[in-house]
Amino acid sequence: MASGESSPKVCKLVENRTLAHIVASKLQLQWSPEQIAGWLRCTYPGNEDYQVSHETIYRSLFIQARGALKKELLEHFRRTRAMRRSRHHTLKTGTHDRISEAVSISERPAAVEDRARPGHWERNLLLGSGNSQIATLVERQTCYVMLAKVASDTETVINALIKHAHKLPEELYKSLTWDRGKEMVEHTRFTVATDIKVYFCAPQSPWQRGSNENTDGLLRQYFPKGTDLSAYSQAKLNAVARRLNERPRKTLNYETPAKRFHQSRCIHRLNLQPSRAN
């Protein structure tokens, strides 16, 4: 090597095996490199030994895969373009324009639109083979996810919605936004049973439920297209939801949906406590 030339820089994940182990464990949980880097900054503030950029993680995966992070970890970090493809084709049926007494998403209060308060949810159906499906619920402020096992008929979907609504305090379930799928034809029965307002996207406009659309993409890591979703138990769905809720999110400053939602529940309980007399 000529004098003055610097030696190639060694990847930080090669030098620091403890850090590499942490990164690998998070990749196995399907965290993205950006989520891992953000979580490290929040968990080990000021400790450079436990900081790594998401670019370095990407390089270790795709360029230096035989070194710091083994190739087999790639299967835990696969969010292909197929997962990002539009899912709007699932909405093209004649039923969407014929839901009676539907309240438009444009009438949602400002507090729902700007995510100022918790308790406003977006809902969708993740579709699998053989008409199998999973109902997905995403809370707009905290990104908290709930999954429900449902059959394909309308009555069962509504019953599943009612059952999940009763699991939460009233203050944490105030409204629900859905697209105009036929499964919500009986939406008034849901509102009567739960006192929860239902809003509908414009026809063939599922992107108006941004939180839910993004979550559906993450769910495809666990339930690829063409999967028979009826084979999964509610316990398995709860486990997948827990994994998503324990992932740090950039929109939450790399805190987790589980932490934010727990904070909301604690605040709700405090508000219910009677004030002490002086």
Say which amino acid occupies 228: D
Cβ contacts of 261 within 8 Å, gap of 6 or more? 118, 139, 142, 144, 245
* Measured distance CA(126)–CA(206) in Å, rounded: 13
Average pLDDT rounded to a whole number, residues 114-133: 87
Average pLDDT rounded to a whole number, residues 70-74: 56
Of 58, 32, 44, nearest in space to 248 by CA: 32
**Mean pLDDT of the residues in the chain:** 78
156 pLDDT tier (thresholds 50, 70, 90): confident
> Could you tell me the two tokens for 171?
């203050």
Task: Tell me the pairing of strands 133-139 and 145-150.
Answer: antiparallel
- Per DSSP, helices labelled H in 147-233 are 154-165, 187-194, 210-219
Stronger pLDDT, 260 or 202, i.e. the higher one = 260
Cβ(33)–Cβ(58) under 8 Å? yes
Task: Tell me the pairing of strands 120-127 and 133-139.
Answer: antiparallel
pLDDT attached to residue 60:
78
For the chain, what's the residue count?
Answer: 278
Has residue 39 got a pLDDT over 80? Answer: yes
* Measured distance CA(178)–CA(113) in Å, rounded: 14
Has residue 1 got a pLDDT over 90? Answer: no
Q: Kindly report, residue by residue over 209-238, the tens digit of the pLDDT.
A: 555 567 888 899 899 999 999 999 999 999
CATH 3.30.420.10 fits 105-272, yes or no: yes
Residue intervals of the chain classified under CATH 3.30.420.10 are 105-272
pLDDT attached to residue 40:
94
> Could you tell me the two tokens for 60?
């270790």
Has residue 204 got a pLDDT over 90? Answer: no
48 pLDDT tier (thresholds 50, 70, 90): very high
81 pLDDT tier (thresholds 50, 70, 90): very low
* Measured distance CA(45)–CA(176) in Å, rounded: 38
* Measured distance CA(273)–CA(18) in Å, rounded: 45
Residue 187: HSE in the Cβ half-sphere, 13 Å Cα cutoff: 24
Place of tokens 């486990």: 239
Q: In angstroms, how far is the first alpha carbon of the chain from the final one?
A: 80
